[in-house]
Chains A and B, each alone.
Chain A
Amino acid sequence: LAGPPSPPGQDPRGWRAAVDCVRANELCAAEPSCSSRYRTLRQCLAGRDRNTMLANKECQAALEVLQESPLYDCRCKRGMKKELQCLQIYWSIHLGLTEGEEFYEASPYEPVTSRLSDIFRLASIFSGMDPATNSKSNHCLDAAKACNLNDNCKRLRSGYISTCSKEVSATEHCSRRKCHKALRQFFDRVPSEYTYRLLFCSCKDQACAERRRQTIVPSCSYEEKEKPNCLDLRNTCRTDHLCRSRLADFHTNCQASFQSLTSCPGDNYQACLGSYAGLIGFDMTPNYVNASTTSITISPWCSCKGSGNMEEECEKFLRDFTENPCLRNAIQAFGNGTDVNLSP
C-alpha cells in the first residue's frame, strides 16, 4: 500500500519538484542554450518517431541537453490559467517521444494529493448532515438542491443545462460544441464537493438513478445518432491536446491494479473521480449507460463493432470504463461517504 500523501512542494520519490510547463518554458527562453536546443528538438520531432529522431546526432544532442532542463519534467494543473498553452508545450516535447501508438499514456497533470475525506468534511459543513446517515432521501435531488443554494454552482449549472437543451434548428436539436464547453466550465470552476455529489450520488430507486444519468444532459452531450468505434473515438480524442491529456489522466488515475486494496493506483479515489469528471465535455465524455440502481455501468458513447483484428484492443479500452473495479469502487465509496483509511 502507498504511504500517506506527502505535503505539496516536497515530492515523495525524490524527483525535482514539478514546475508547470508554462513557467518552464519561460525559464528555458531566458537561457540561450536551452531555448535554441528546444527549438532544435521541436523541429526534430515534427512528424517523426523517436527512432528516426534519435538517429540524428543533432537531435540526440538537443535531447540530452534538455534532459537537464525544467522542461523535461514539467507538468500542468487541471483548470490552471493557460492550461491549453501548458499542454501544448508538454505535448510538443512528448508527442515525438512516443514509440508509435501507446495504449496507455502518462498523464501530463500533477498527481492529486487531496482525498475524498477532505471533500466529505467540506460537504458535511454545508449540508448540515452526514451524507451516509439519511437512507430515505434521494441523494441526487439533495445534490441539486445544494448546488442551487450556491450562487456559483447554480449559475454554471443552469448555464450548461440551458445551453445543452437549446434547440438550434429542426435538424440539429442542440449545439454539442457549446454544450460541451459549458459542461467543461461547470466541472472546472465549481468545487468538487458540489460537482461530485451531482455526478456520483448513490441511488436506491430508478427515478434517482435516472436523474443521475441525466446530470450531464446526455441527449446533447453524450448520445449521437451513430455509435463510433471506440478506437476511432480514441484517435479523434488524441488529435486534441486537451482531450488527449484528460484521457491520459483518466488512464493514469483509474487504471485498475491488483497491487492495491481498492484496485486504484495509490488507493486514491479522489484522483480517479477527478480524472473521470475531467473527461466530461470532450469527445470521450463518459456517462451511466442506464438508470439501473443495482449495477453501475459507465461507458463513453462508442462500441467495438467493426474493430476487425483490433477487437481485443478495443474491448480492453472499453473495459477500462465498463468493467473497471477502481472506478466502480471510487463511485461507490463516494456514494456511501466512505474513504480509504490510510494509516498515518
Chain B
Amino acid sequence: AAAFGLYFPRKEYSENVYIDQPAGTPLLRIHTLRDSHGEVAHFHLCQNLIISRARSHENHWFQIREKTGLLYLSKSLDREDFNMLSVGNWMPLSKVMLYVFLSSHPFQEKECDSATRTTVVLSLMNATAPACSSLTARQLCFTEMDLSFHIKENKPPGTFHQLQLPSVHHLCQNLSISYDLLAAEGMPFRYNENTTGVSVTQRLDREERERYELIAKCTVREGFREMQVEVPFLVNVLDEDDSPPFLPNGTDTAEAVVEFNRKEGTVLATLTVYDADTTPIYPLESSRKKYTGSIITDDPWISETFRVEHIFDEIHFSPNGSQVRGTQHEYKLVLNKSISVTEHRSFQLDVLVNDTEFPGPERSVMLHFNVSILPVSIQFPNMTYQFTVNRNAERFAQIGKICIENCMKFRGVNISYKLLSPNVSCYPVSILQGREGKWGSLYVNDSSVLRRPECKEIQYTIQATDKQSRKHTKTLLTIVLEGTLLKKEEDCPDSCAVSKHRAECEECGGLGVLTGRCQWRQGSGKGITTNYSTCTPSIKTCPDGTCDVIESKDPAVCPQDCTSGNIIGGHGKGTGNLGIKSGHGICYCFPRQNCYCEKDDIKEQLCDEMCKTVI
C-alpha cells in the first residue's frame, strides 16, 4: 500500500484560456478522493508549464488553492505571453500542460516528485474570451473531455466532481445554468444541487459492479428560451486485491500419466484456479510475480524433471446481472526434460499457488498432481517381417516400414533401426531412419543384386535401439525376390518425373520404381489442383506432399515432393517451399532443374464423322 492514499478520480482535466482574461478568473476545480477517513487534501502546482516535449516555461500565470483545488489565473495572459507560449507548438491548437500534485500534509518548498499527480491541459485560444451569447449550450455546459471517472473500491465516500464550469459561471453570471444527474434507481451516487457536486455515497465493490453509466443533464435558461444538453457520465470502479484464490468445484487434484509421450515440453495435466480479482496481462512480469505457483519438493530429480507453467486469462462473472471481470489461472505440469523409457515410479507432486498481495490467510491454495511414470518396452510385435521385392525394382524403391510396438505413439523417444548384415553376398536393401525417429524405412540400395539369379530369399536381423537407454531388441526379416526380369527400355530418362505423357511414362522405368515401370497418376484436370497428372515411381509415396528420407536421398526420385527449384506454370508450392503441392494440368520435372505444370494440348480426333464417310 502507498504511504498515503489520496487520489485523483481523473487522469486529465482540460480548459480553454483566452487572451487578456483578467487575473482572478477561475478556470477549473479539481477533486480528490480519500483512501481512509480523516485525510485532508493539499493541492500544489509545480514550477513549470510544459509547452511541448522539449520546451517548458516558468509558470507566472496559474495558481491553485491549496485546500479547495480551484485553479485560477493569477495574472492575465497578454498577446505577447501567448506568442511566447505558442512557440514550438506546431499543432493547429496550442496547448500547455500543468501538473497538479497532491499531498496529505501542507506542501514544503519545491515538492514536485510526489507520485500522485494529475495533468491539466490548457488550450490557448488565440482570441479574447467569447461573449456568452456566442457560446452554444454544449460549450456553456460541459468541456470537450468525456465525463469519465475512476473510483477505487472499498474506499470511503466523497465528492469527486463538480458539474458547473467555474470559468463559464464566472463569465456568464446572468445566464441560468442548472444541472442534474440522471441515475438508475439505487445507484450509489448523489447530486447536490447547491454545489453541483457529484459524490459517491458508499464504499463500492468492483466484484459486484465495475461500471456505472449515468447521464449528466444541463439546462440553460435565457429569458423564455430553454436549451437542454445531455452527455454520458461514466464511473469505472478500480480493482484491488481483495479476493482470495478458489478452486472450481473444489477440484485440487489431477492425474498425470507419462507413458509413450516422454518428450520435454509435454503438458501432463492442468489444474485451474479462479480469482474474482482482475490480473493485468500488461505489464506481464509483475502479474507473474504477484501470482505464483511453485513445486514443493526437496527431491532434486523432481525439480529437474518437472516445471509448472502458469497462464492466466480474463473471464467474466455475473454476480447480479452485470458483467464483472475475473481471472482464470491455469497451472500446467510440464516435463522439463525427456524421460528415459526405463523410468518407473509414481508419487504425488504438490504445487503451492500463492496470491501474494491478498491480505489474509486464504491467500494460498495447494494443488496435487498424482504422477505415474510408466516404463515402455522396446520390442517388436511378436512376428517376423517378410517383404517381397520385384526383381525389376530400381534403386530407392520403397519396400516397407519397420516399426517397434506402439512406435507411432512415441514422442521424445528416439529409436534407431539397423540391419545386421547377413553372411551372404546378396545384400540389396538398406534401412533409413524415418523422421522423428519413430520408424525405419526399407529401400533398395543396390538394384544389381536383385538381378542376380542366385539371390532368392535373404534373411536379415533387424535391431532397434533406444538411443537414450541403449535398450535394444531384434527380429528377423525375410526379403523374397520375385518376378522375371524385363528388358530395359532404351533412352529412358533415369527419373520418372521427366515423362509428360501416360504412354512414355508407363513404358519406362526410373529411380524408385517398384516393378520396373513408372506409374501414371491421372488428375482431375480442374484448374490448379492438388490432384494434378504426373508420372511417378510409386503413386503410394509420390507425390504425397512430404519429401521423405528416401526421396530426399536423390532429387531424381520424386521432384514432385522435393524440388526446391523453379516451377513454371500455374502451381502452388508445398510446405517449406519444397515440391509441387498443386499444379495446373500435367506437372513434369527435370531433376536439379525446373519443373513445369501445363495443360496438355487437346488432342483433336484424327478423323471426324465427315472425314470417315469421305474415306
Contacts and interface: CB of A to CB of B under 8 A. Distances in A.
Given A306-B279, A306-B314, A67 B55 contact: yes
Contacts of A93: 54
Contact of A306 (B112, B239, B280, B575): B280
A111 B92 CA distance: 10
B447 interface: no
B284 interface: yes
A170 B575 contact: yes
Majority secondary structure of chain B interface residues (helix, strand, loop or mixed): loop
Interface residues of B, number: 37
B606 interface: no
Contact of A311 (B89, B236, B577): B236
Contacts of A311: 236
Interface in B87-108: 87-93, 99
Contacts of A2: 92
B113 A51 contact: yes
Contacts of B577: 166-168
A128 B576 CA distance: 43
B112 to A, nearest CB: 6
B576 A111 contact: no
B546 to A, nearest CB: 9
Contact of A307 (B50, B53, B282): B282
A308 B54 CA distance: 32
Interface in A292-344: 305-313
A98 B53 CA distance: 6
Interface in A63-120: 67, 72-73, 93-94, 97-99, 105-106, 111
Interface in A114-173: 166-170
Contacts of A307: 280-282
A13 B50 contact: no
A99 B100 CA distance: 13
Interface in B275-321: 278-284, 313-314
B576 A235 contact: no
A20 B53 CA distance: 17
Contacts of A166: 577
B113 A167 contact: no
B314 A265 contact: no
B576 A306 contact: no
Contacts of B281: 229, 232, 305-308
Contacts of A13: 86-87, 89-90
A308 B90 CA distance: 35
B190 interface: no
B573 interface: yes
Contact of A259 (B83, B86, B93): B93
A99 B54 CA distance: 11
A106 B112 CA distance: 24
Contact of B93 (A14, A105, A257, A305): A257
Listed residue (A106, A257, A258, A313) with the most chain B CB atoms within 10 angstroms of its CB: A106
A192 interface: no
B282 A232 contact: yes
B358 to A, nearest CB: 15
A266 interface: yes
A191 to B, nearest CB: 25
A72 B50 contact: no
Given A93-B54, A306-B314, A232 B284 contact: yes
A206 to B, nearest CB: 23
Contacts of A168: 576-577
Contact of B54 (A97, A170, A312): A97
A231 interface: yes
B183 interface: no
A170 B50 contact: no
B148 interface: yes
Contacts of B87: 13-15
A106 B53 contact: yes
A309 B238 contact: yes
Given A15-B90, A312-B236, A105 B53 contact: yes
Contacts of B91: 106, 252, 265
Interface of A: 2, 13-15, 51, 67, 72-73, 93-94, 97-99, 105-106, 111, 166-170, 229, 231-232, 235, 252, 257-260, 265-266, 305-313
28 contacts: A13-B87, A13-B89, A15-B88, A67-B54, A72-B54, A94-B53, A98-B53, A167-B576, A169-B576, A229-B281, A232-B281, A235-B282, A258-B144, A305-B314, A306-B281, A306-B282, A308-B239, A308-B278, A308-B279, A308-B281, A308-B282, A309-B150, A309-B278, A309-B280, A310-B280, A310-B282, A311-B236, A312-B148
Interface of B: 11, 50, 52-55, 83, 86-93, 99, 112-113, 144, 148, 150, 236, 238-239, 278-284, 313-314, 573, 575-577
